[in-house]
Amino acid sequence: MKALHILLTAAAAAAVAACAQMSPSGGAAASAQLKPTAGNTASGTVTFEQRGDKLLITAVVTGLKPNSEHGFHVHEKGDCSAPDAMSAGGHFNPGAKPHGHYDNTDRHGGDMPNLRADAAGSTRVMWESDLLSVSGANGLIGRSVVVHRDPDDYKSQPAGNSGPRIACGVIVTGK
């Protein structure tokens, strides 16, 4: 009887943990807390919510230069420890594709739309990716998301000429 109770308790704990990693829509979820790199003020939250074969990405970022545009990418390493966030590595590129526009199928998985700040230096963007997922071969858990100082030109190789990294956050399970 005691063994059955322990087994049921373990199963219930596993079910609760699995639910904690799911989004309200029932899909898997992940998030990143953006922190400014040395000398910068940008910060915010990025959430990732699996919706079938698409990944809904929602970013809320503050501390940007007013009325500015910024490159925004998933990077290969989940390491924002360097003062300039270069420890995050290059763009996440599971398909070994060239850097490109976020609507082009021939692009890095981590290529996303530029962030456009309002007059207060804030932005909120929602976008669906068909090349990323919370887990699996194109999974983002353990990677990072980076905001750059300049806009991505969507053509320069290998990273869109978007300048220094002004904020970085490691992507973890759950919201």
Q: Which helix (H) or strand (E) holds 166?
A: strand 165-173
Could you confirm whether 148 is annotated as catalytic? yes
Active-site residue, 5 included: no
Q: Looking at 91, 107, 143, 149, which residue is catalytic?
A: 91
Q: What Cα–Cα distance (Å) separates residue 71 from each residue in 50, 51, 108, 154?
A: 23, 24, 13, 9
* Catalytic-residue membership of 91: yes
- Among 70, 107, 111, 143, the active-site one is 111
Q: Is the dihedral of CA 33, 127, 151, 72 positive or negative?
A: positive
Q: Is 75 a catalytic residue?
A: yes
Catalytic residue among 53, 70, 73, 152: 73
Catalytic residue among 107, 143, 148, 149: 148
Catalytic-role residue among 75, 107, 143, 149 = 75
How far apart, in whole angstroms, are the C-alpha atoms of residue 62 and residue 42? 6
Q: Which residues are catalytic?
A: 73, 75, 91, 99, 108, 111, 148, 165
